[in-house]
Amino acid sequence: MTEARLVEREISEEKLKKYFEITEQALKKLEVAVHEKSLLYSVAKDFLTMAKSYYTDAKYHYEKGDYVTAFAALNYAHGFIDAGVRLGVFKGEDNRLFAFG
């Protein structure tokens, strides 16, 4: 049985750099969409803090050469970004950067 596509079992530096770039662009473009007096404002700030923290963790692990943990942290970072967009606490209209844009 032959597979139609190659299954990747390793995380390449090229792939990591691509996801770092996408997540960095998303963080730069991200805007809080709720008023600061809204009950959801604290949710937005918490999601943003978590996304930035995971992005920073990803850079740390990448610099140590731990690509697997770096990739996992990037996915968590972008997960918080996309969850915030989906919830409506972030503006994210670029579907190249945001899953629900």
Q: Is the pTM of this model over 0.95?
A: no
Tell me, what's the pLDDT at 70? Answer: 97
Domain assignment of residue 11, yes or no? no
- Answer whether 74's CB lies under 8 Å from 24's CB: no
CATH at 87: 1.20.1270
pLDDT (tens digit, 0 to 9) for every residue of the chain, 101 residues total?
A: 455 666 678 899 999 999 999 999 999 999 999 999 999 999 999 999 999 999 999 999 999 999 999 999 999 999 999 999 999 999 988 877 877 65
Single-letter residue type at 11: I
In angstroms, the CA 101 to CA 46 distance is: 20
Which H or E run contains 27? helix 13-29
Please check whether residue 54 lies inside any domain of the structure. yes
Q: Does residue 24 fall inside a structural domain?
A: no
Q: C-alpha distances in angstroms, 96 versus 1, 22, 34, 100?
A: 35, 8, 22, 10
SS3 at position 62:
helix
96's tokens = 């190249």
The total number of structural domains in the chain stands at 1
